[in-house]
Structure 1
Amino acid sequence: MLDIGLVTWLVTIGFVVALLAVDLVLAAVRPHRVGFAEATAWSVFYVLVAVGFGVWFLLAYGGQAGTEYFAGYIVEKSLSVDNLFVFVIIMTTFAVPEKHQHKVLTFGIVLALLMRAAFIAVGATLLSLFSFMFLIFGLVLIFTAVQLFRHRDEDPDVENNVVVKAARRLLPTTEDYVEGKLVTKVDGRRMVTPLFVVLVAIGGVDLLFALDSIPAVFGVTEEPYIVFTANAFALLGLRALFFLVKGLLDRLVYLSAGLALILAFIGVKLMLHWAHVDISESVPEIPTPLSLGVIIGILLVVTVASLVKTRRDPTAKAHPGSLRGHREPGEK
């Protein structure tokens, strides 16, 4: 384990919070449609921040730590693209006005960071206490990979999500977005707006993605600081990336299959690590540099194959995939 001091943790968290605060202020003070140039500038900025941090981390803590960070960041960044698919579906399903999408995404990223911070703390504690948790995490990832691959051509059923249905049933909701407010008063009665329900939907999605992404990045590194920073810097650029690539997401037709392969690969890596520690040191482990190469290779192949496919068949459309199949009306 790396010797990461309290001051380093506090400065890092403060830096992440400061970047989030800037996003929140921009979203609250100036609701607007984010254009391509603005989205590009912010996307480049966040990538440079992540890379700059990685270079500093590599120089400060060594090549192994730096490699683990970049591998973790790439894993989380690739999984966050699947997040974007679902965000697009949610925005479309609830007809969120473009000028309020900035606010929704920023709040969604805050929720995702809070949930993942909690999962990181729990995951790190479990792994330090019980080595068999590597086996459990590996099995979870392989199960997720199989389900994602089986339902790779489907979209999540947002409207029938249990949390969303409960929110609609229990909370009085206005018909319109009321200038982007979350809560308002109508005839003296306090009501939530559809924007509140959208945030509930995104929170539910964030929870599901945290269940997948945290075991995945622990497959790359056991260091909680690296897990946190890889997640934080991957998520921070999500808002800008949404506006930059939402028109291109439909072309990544093989992304879900590729992510399923990545999750399965990391699941096997975790299980081999458990066997190496608990059964016999003769069981081989997959080194981090090899993991990084495999992950990048899968992403490159998936991207190129997707672009070739959509060029030959313009009607082909990508889907984020679902962890369970949809039931047809009347089906039990």
Structure 2
Amino acid sequence: MDEQEQPKPTSERHIPVLRDRCINLLAPGFEAARSRGTTPIAIDATLGMGGHSEAMLQRFPDLHLIGIDRDEEALALAGRRLAQFAARTDLVHAVYDEIPDVLADLGVQEVHGILMDLGVSSLQLDERERGFAYSYNAPLDMRMDTSRGQTAADVVNTYSEEDLVRIIRKWGEEKFAGRIANRIVQQRATAPFTTTGQLVEAIRGVVPTGAAKSGGHPAKRTFQALRIEVNEELEVLERAVPAAVAATAVGGRVVVMSYHSLEDKIVKAVFQAGSKSSAPPGFPVELEEHKPELKTLTRGTEVPTAQEIAENPRAASARLRAVERIKPRRAQ
């Protein structure tokens, strides 16, 4: 490999989305822990290549960080990036809905800040052989954890036409789901799909050319749907957000960045439920046990500024929500 082909350092390959804004939202939770004489502990639940974690560890010299990722390659890259902080980090191969198990294994009772940066990571988009991108030909894989689970090829080649319509319509919000599923089933009868390029061409054949003017690349929504199905992303998220909230100490904060409406809807529902009183309607006095557990820190969803998008174009679709735990969680 010549000098021009050497891979860039991880810090150059990965620009964390909304880095400063996320860390500023988390900071008061770490300060609250410090004021009580407690070592602040953070979870980066979607570690990726470690950009957000690196910034946190640099800014807060006493912070202990738990980094979680299902992608073993990402964990290895982040480990190298964070090597200078090894004494203050625990990097764990897990899915982020396994937060309770991770904390139990580490002997940690509660944490003071949790960050979730959802969706597909820069590493997964940039590594062509992973098959996440529709812009170049690659094996039809899309697994975030390549050590287990079905691939996108498995889904495309084995699901019934009805199930393909369902996931493409539901997870991809694709109005041409019926046409796409029908073409997939017809084409796989001749030969199975093995590459992203084959799938893109099949989709191009049935999606009207004019649809790209408003909806972007004709394969965008189908690829999103397959990625969500392969990695069970929304089912994981439905478990992960309540687990994150439950693991957070009073004064601690949870910050979540989502990238499409399906993710944001789940995050919004959990945050809103915790931010409301549990007192019965019309109850004359709000008792302490009925008061909200969470305080909303963002007004609706916050979006990137023009400058943030210019610094990192992948931030364009990010939607940010954050809450603070203001009272101990209710007994179950």
Structure with max Cα Rg: 2
Q: Same fold (TM over 0.5)?
A: no
Query: Scaled by the length of structure 2, what TM-score is found?
Result: 0.25
Higher strand share: 2
| TM-score normalized by the length of structure 1 | 0.25
Q: More relative contact order in 1 or in 2 (CA 8 Å, sep 6+)? A: 1
